Amino acid sequence: EKGYEVVETRDGTHALRCLQSHPDMHVVVTDVMMPGIDGPHLAVAMKEMNPDVKILFVSGYPEDEIKEQLPPSIQSASFLPKPFALADLINKIQELLN
Protein backbone atom coordinates (compact mmCIF):
# COMPACT_ATOMS: atom_id res chain seq x y z
CA GLU A 1 0.00 0.00 0.00
CA LYS A 2 2.91 2.39 0.71
CA GLY A 3 5.18 1.16 -2.07
CA TYR A 4 7.34 -1.25 -0.09
CA GLU A 5 7.70 -4.96 -0.72
CA VAL A 6 6.91 -6.62 2.60
CA VAL A 7 7.91 -10.14 3.58
CA GLU A 8 5.91 -11.27 6.60
CA THR A 9 7.22 -14.07 8.79
CA ARG A 10 5.62 -16.07 11.57
CA ASP A 11 8.60 -16.08 13.95
CA GLY A 12 12.31 -15.36 14.25
CA THR A 13 13.42 -18.67 12.80
CA HIS A 14 11.26 -18.12 9.73
CA ALA A 15 12.61 -14.57 9.46
CA LEU A 16 16.18 -15.88 9.31
CA ARG A 17 15.24 -18.28 6.52
CA CYS A 18 13.56 -15.43 4.65
CA LEU A 19 16.70 -13.29 4.83
CA GLN A 20 18.66 -16.16 3.30
CA SER A 21 16.27 -16.17 0.34
CA HIS A 22 16.04 -12.34 0.23
CA PRO A 23 19.66 -11.23 0.86
CA ASP A 24 18.91 -7.76 -0.50
CA MET A 25 16.47 -6.97 2.34
CA HIS A 26 16.99 -3.40 3.54
CA VAL A 27 14.99 -3.13 6.78
CA VAL A 28 13.86 -5.69 9.33
CA VAL A 29 11.04 -4.71 11.67
CA THR A 30 10.90 -6.96 14.71
CA ASP A 31 9.37 -7.00 18.14
CA VAL A 32 11.83 -7.20 21.00
CA MET A 33 10.02 -9.97 22.86
CA MET A 34 9.03 -13.02 20.81
CA PRO A 35 8.84 -16.74 21.46
CA GLY A 36 11.82 -18.76 20.26
CA ILE A 37 14.36 -16.30 18.89
CA ASP A 38 13.80 -12.89 20.48
CA GLY A 39 14.32 -9.66 18.56
CA PRO A 40 17.88 -8.92 19.73
CA HIS A 41 19.12 -12.43 18.89
CA LEU A 42 17.36 -12.23 15.53
CA ALA A 43 18.98 -8.85 14.84
CA VAL A 44 22.48 -10.13 15.66
CA ALA A 45 22.03 -13.13 13.34
CA MET A 46 20.64 -10.94 10.57
CA LYS A 47 23.51 -8.45 10.86
CA GLU A 48 25.95 -11.36 10.56
CA MET A 49 24.20 -12.44 7.35
CA ASN A 50 23.79 -8.93 5.95
CA PRO A 51 25.77 -6.17 7.74
CA ASP A 52 23.89 -3.49 5.77
CA VAL A 53 20.41 -4.48 6.93
CA LYS A 54 18.74 -1.88 9.15
CA ILE A 55 17.00 -3.11 12.30
CA LEU A 56 13.86 -1.48 13.67
CA PHE A 57 12.69 -2.75 17.05
CA VAL A 58 9.10 -2.19 18.11
CA SER A 59 8.26 -2.66 21.77
CA GLY A 60 6.05 -1.63 24.61
CA TYR A 61 9.13 -1.51 26.85
CA PRO A 62 11.04 1.78 27.27
CA GLU A 63 13.77 2.34 24.68
CA ASP A 64 16.46 3.01 27.29
CA GLU A 65 15.71 -0.30 29.00
CA ILE A 66 15.98 -2.18 25.71
CA LYS A 67 19.06 -0.37 24.36
CA GLU A 68 21.16 -1.04 27.48
CA GLN A 69 20.63 -4.78 27.01
CA LEU A 70 21.61 -4.89 23.32
CA PRO A 71 24.94 -6.36 22.25
CA PRO A 72 27.40 -3.89 20.67
CA SER A 73 26.82 -5.21 17.15
CA ILE A 74 23.22 -3.90 17.17
CA GLN A 75 23.51 -0.79 19.33
CA SER A 76 22.72 1.26 16.23
CA ALA A 77 19.28 -0.34 15.85
CA SER A 78 16.31 2.01 15.72
CA PHE A 79 13.35 1.85 18.04
CA LEU A 80 9.64 2.59 17.68
CA PRO A 81 7.54 2.47 20.86
CA LYS A 82 4.17 0.73 20.89
CA PRO A 83 1.48 1.68 20.26
CA PHE A 84 2.22 3.49 17.02
CA ALA A 85 0.29 4.58 13.95
CA LEU A 86 1.01 3.33 10.44
CA ALA A 87 2.30 6.80 9.58
CA ASP A 88 4.85 6.54 12.40
CA LEU A 89 6.08 3.20 11.08
CA ILE A 90 6.33 4.49 7.50
CA ASN A 91 8.19 7.62 8.64
CA LYS A 92 10.68 5.53 10.63
CA ILE A 93 11.28 3.16 7.70
CA GLN A 94 11.81 6.10 5.34
CA GLU A 95 14.26 7.59 7.83
CA LEU A 96 16.21 4.31 7.92
CA LEU A 97 16.31 4.03 4.14
CA ASN A 98 17.59 7.59 3.63
Specify which of 10-14, 22-26, 53-57 reaches the highest per-range mean pLDDT.
53-57
Separation of alpha carbons 37 and 86, rounded Å? 25
**What is residue 52's DSSP assignment?**
T
Can you name the residues that pair with 59 across neighbouring β-strands? 81
What's the whole-number average pLDDT of the chain?
Answer: 91
- Strand segments, DSSP code E, in the chain are 27-31, 54-59, 78-81
Q: How confident is the model over 40-81, as pLDDT tens digits? A: 999 999 999 899 999 999 999 898 888 888 888 898 899 999
Q: How many helices (H) and strands (E) does the chain have?
A: 4, 3
